[in-house]
Homo-oligomer: A and B are copies of this chain.
């Protein structure tokens, strides 16, 4: 005995037809139901019998009844078809974006804001699994170069034809000092006055540092004393402990300004905006699309940034067009 059944030739179509024949007990009925002719069904059945290598139905009093093997085959058919169907449902849900996975790469500072979008999105889409990568600007650029994530958030998107960027949220950089800082109440405070202060700065790879550096350069100012700390949070604590002043995203201090306050420095806040950044060429997982759509529909309400909605809508359109 070789192989009992020629599995390789087995088609789901055949199983579908067979299952219906068993259910109706009639070739003609199945033919009608499936919009085929009776001989077609007859032939399909014959072929299935050949594949199985055994008779699968027999005529009993004008009805087609599955043989013993036929019964087992019917069960198999039901089983396989329903499993295929489950997969199908998964696929549909996946395509709808309600299920699946995507990854988003955040520049450090953005982690103070994105949870406010990712959180509700995750609530609404519990089957979606989001990987959040966090790093400073340089690290994110590296990941971006290697196409490691689906979406990135930068305040200064890399420039490339392949890049689509949607500025969705303003990211004002402010100068902060300790709670009872003497500068807090100075009118018309300017940088010259602060030149002697020690500034706690993020590392050079970070966007905040980069923006501040650029501003200093333009203003022709050189700081006397600086200290480098690679974490917004650590910087905030250090400021609160009177170790110096710092330039931080207002979002970093907005939620819980314990121990620090924004200083009314002229020219500040420095304006910058976060962008959603994706590659044109990359086909985003439907879940990522769904996230962006979600964001697009909630920015105005959540952050009062209607222009952000516009930008994200444009990005989505561009992605759509890219397909």
How far, in angstroms, from A33 to B73 measured CA to CA in the complex?
Answer: 29
Contacts of A55 in B (CB 8 A): 283
Partner of A4, one of B11, B52, B88: B88
- A positions within 8 Å CB-CB of B: 1, 3-5, 7-13, 16, 52-55, 68-69, 72-73, 76, 79-81, 83-85, 87-92, 94-96, 100-101, 283, 285
How far, in angstroms, from A185 to B106 measured CA to CA in the complex?
Answer: 112
Contacts of A94 in B (CB 8 A): 54, 68-69, 72
How far, in angstroms, from A69 to B95 measured CA to CA in the complex?
Answer: 10
Within the oligomer, what is the number of copies of this chain?
Answer: 2
On whether the beta carbons of B73 and A285 are closer than 8 Å, the reply is no
On whether the beta carbons of A84 and B76 are closer than 8 Å, the reply is yes
On whether the beta carbons of B7 and A88 are closer than 8 Å, the reply is yes
Q: Which residue of B lies closest to A54 (CB)?
A: B91
CB distance from A97 to the nearest CB of B (A): 12
How far, in angstroms, from A87 to B68 measured CA to CA in the complex?
Answer: 12
How far, in angstroms, from A296 to B322 measured CA to CA in the complex?
Answer: 75
| Contacts A54-B91, A68-B285, A69-B91 known; 19 new A-B pairs at CB < 8 A | A1-B92, A1-B95, A4-B91, A4-B92, A4-B95, A5-B84, A5-B88, A7-B12, A8-B11, A9-B12, A9-B13, A10-B84, A11-B11, A53-B91, A68-B101, A69-B94, A72-B94, A76-B83, A80-B80
